[in-house]
Amino acid sequence: MPLNQKNPTLTDSWKRLKEHFNHISKKKIEDHFQINKNRGKEFSTNFNEILFDYSKNKINKETINLFNDLLTEINFSDSVKKYFSGDIINETESRSVLHPALRAKGTEEIFVDGVNIIPEILLSRKKMSDFSHQVISGSYKGIDETKITDIVNIGIGGSDLGPSMVCESLSHYKTRLNVHFVNNVDGDQIHEVLKKLSPSSTLFIIVSKTFTTIETITNGHIAKEWFESNVKNKDISKNFIAVSSNEKAVTEFGIHHSNIFPMWDWVGGRFSLWGSVGLAINLFIGSKNFNDLLMGANEMDGHFKSEPISSNIPLLAACISIWYNNFFDYETHAIIPYNQNMKSFSAYLQQASMESNGKQTSRNGEFIDYQSGSIIWGQAGTNAQHSFFQLMHQGTKIVPCDFIGFSNPLNNNIKSHQILMANFFAQTKALMTGKKDDNAHKYFKGDRPTNTILIKKLTPKNLGSLIALYEHKIFSIGVILNLFSFDQFGVELGKKLANDILKIIKEKSSINNDSSTKNLLNKFFDSI
């Protein structure tokens, strides 16, 4: 059954939210703290080792109640049931959306086309775990019976951003293996990686559902040519692995069928790190830590499914995002993790969110006249404080932010961690309060909204919960705004035109193009 197709702006709840906005928008965030001395506690909620403080926002309890009314009016709970049960909610591509199934417990049952997919997922999970153990222990050997020391993951988009972000974030938990990520068709990237490696001790993982993605397959062939030119035995079967659904193309490439890990149609690329796409993660941090990552996400799934809006972190985050984007016209949202290992987290969420909800069309097939997804960006603190925080504090654009911090450091660097966390807490306070000064250049208006996510420690389990939190936030925004969040047709046009222009480049002919493209191509031809 399809999701509801209600235009949210035509609901009674949305109209009441507009009226409420006209009143509450005149109040400063600090005013709410003056009214309610216990606001910090009342506008916070806990999940396991995660605290979500949303008190520094331009909202009150009425705001939350009105959004709850909106959820009732659009039958949000029905959409959540369909999301987790395998209904075809990716209607434009006739697919289920079941990345939560990849971290499901073995006791659960989830059906696609009448078949329980959990046994198949568990088999794949075991295959990954067994393979990971063999490689890490050294019992799995590459060509010439050489132990594997390095992993090269070749992918793009969701086949790269998720695994690379998780490996980077959890580098504290790494095994003896080194992992490298190649994601750009720019040949300079892969050649810079390859020149540091020994072919016999390197394991390549080529990640492509169709095994036809031009960037990935081009890099795959470069890796294969490099490997074959540097070993006596040209057999790549032990040093090349594939994550794909196209067994024929993979085996034709030279990869043994036993070294193919599955991908499923009911998982989109940007939500796929929990399954075989996360093989590089499994190898990098080991199966136990990978399973902890899954467990954290699975527990957040349960939280999202069961909790009311007042204590439901992903749902609160989604409603607050819609509140700013559609009522205050704050178009962007910054993600600031105060942990250097998580420096790619914002970029990961940028893809996950903007590819999902960067849409102009409702589920009814009509062009919308309201805002869809926010522009997501950010950087790790404290570096961010010395770059774009100037604009956030004193610029003319208001940027709602999520601040993500960890109470305990990964290493015994207490002094440094105290300084880091002092900055973390100070920035949300400064953005809210501002600073009065007779010198206009030193005056801070304040009243800048933030969410604070405080986590006990950066562990695989907590990271899994955090990623799933944002996944469900993305889903919730799409449901409320009547969008299809799980296709990405906007990506396809550029791919098609790139293939067309590639033919032109090979033929060195710029005809049949607009004058700008023609001029640029001619200049390119003159330079090569």
Q: Are 369 and 500 in the same domain?
A: no
CB 260 within 8 A of CB 270: no
Give how far the C-alpha of residue 58 lies from the chain's centroid of Cα atoms, to the nearest Å: 26
User: pLDDT tens-digit profile of 203-229?
Assistant: 999 999 999 989 999 999 999 999 999
Count structural domains, the chain: 3
For residue 4, tell me if it sits in a domain: no
State how far the Cα of 511 lies from the Cα of 517, in Å rounded to an integer: 10
E strands in 68-149: 111-112, 115-116
Q: What is the mean pLDDT of residues 62-89?
A: 97
Please compute, for residue 256, the number of CA atoms within 13 A of its CA located in the half-sphere on the CB side: 9
**Which residues form the catalytic set?**
355, 386, 495
Q: Are 178 and 238 in the same domain?
A: yes
Q: Are 354 and 496 in the same domain?
A: no
- Give me the pLDDT at residue 234, please: 86
Residue 491 in tokens: 């990506």
pLDDT at 1 over 70: no
pLDDT at 71 over 70: yes
Q: What is the DSSP string of 258-309?
A: GGEE---TTS-GGG-TTTGGGHHHHHHH-HHHHHHHHHHHHHHHHHHHH--G
Average pLDDT of the residues of the chain: 96
Last residue of a domain, which of 460, 480, 500? 480
Q: Are 284 and 373 in the same domain?
A: no
* β-bridge partners, 207: 243
For residue 82, tell me if it sits in a domain: no
Q: What is the mean pLDDT of residues 55-62?
A: 98
Nearest 10 degrees: CA dihedral of 471, 472, 473, 475? 90
Q: What is the mean pLDDT of residues 362-369?
A: 96
Give backbone dihedrals phi and psi of 335, rounded to 5 degrees, phi first: -115, 120
For residue 209, tell me if it sits in a domain: yes
Please state the length of the chain: 528
Last residue of a domain, which of 231, 258, 288? 288
Q: Are 257 and 340 in the same domain?
A: no
User: pLDDT tens-digit profile of 162-217?
Assistant: 999 999 999 999 999 999 999 999 999 999 999 999 999 999 999 999 999 899 99
* β-bridge partners, 376: 333
Q: Are 395 and 428 in the same domain?
A: yes
Q: Are 67 and 186 in the same domain?
A: no
State how far the Cα of 273 lies from the Cα of 460, in Å rounded to an integer: 13
The residues, ordered by sequence, that sit 6+ positions from 157 with a Cβ below 8 Å of its Cβ are 269, 270, 351, 491
Residue % of the chain over a pLDDT of 70:
100
The residues, ordered by sequence, that sit 6+ positions from 181 with a Cβ below 8 Å of its Cβ are 152, 153, 155, 160, 163, 164, 167, 280
pLDDT at 511 over 80: no
Last residue of a domain, which of 227, 253, 288? 288
For residue 149, tell me if it sits in a domain: yes
Q: Are 164 and 282 in the same domain?
A: yes
Q: Are 158 and 215 in the same domain?
A: yes
pTM, to two decimals: 0.96
Nearest CA to 117 among 96, 131, 89?
96
User: pLDDT tens-digit profile of 236-259?
Assistant: 999 999 999 999 999 999 999 999
18-45 burial: b if 16+ Cβ within 10 Å, else e: eebbeebeeeebeebbeeeeebeeebeb
For residue 97, tell me if it sits in a domain: no
User: pLDDT tens-digit profile of 3-36?
Assistant: 889 999 999 999 999 999 999 999 999 999 999 9
Q: Are 24 and 129 in the same domain?
A: no
Q: Are 428 and 505 in the same domain?
A: no
For residue 296, tell me if it sits in a domain: no
- Please say whether the dihedral angle defined by the alpha carbons of residues 313, 353, 164 and 228, taken in this order, is positive or negative: positive
Longest Cα separation, the chain: 77
Other CB atoms within 10 A of residue 388 CB: 17
477-514 burial: b if 16+ Cβ within 10 Å, else e: bbbbbbbbbbbbeeeeeeeeeeeeeeebeeeeebeebe
pLDDT at 423 over 90: yes
Q: What is the mean pLDDT of residues 457-474?
A: 98
Q: Are 359 and 462 in the same domain?
A: yes
User: pLDDT tens-digit profile of 259-303?
Assistant: 999 999 999 999 999 999 999 999 999 999 999 999 999 999 999
User: pLDDT tens-digit profile of 122-148?
Assistant: 999 999 999 999 999 999 999 999 999
The residues, ordered by sequence, that sit 6+ positions from 49 with a Cβ below 8 Å of its Cβ are 455, 456, 457, 462
Can you say whether residue 145 is alpha, beta or left, with left for phi > 0 and alpha for psi between -120 and 50 degrees?
left
For residue 255, tell me if it sits in a domain: yes
Domain that holds residue 180: 103-288
- Give me the pLDDT at residue 45, please: 98
State how far the Cα of 206 lies from the Cα of 220, in Å rounded to an integer: 7
For residue 318, tell me if it sits in a domain: yes
CATH number where 23 lies: 3.40.50.10490
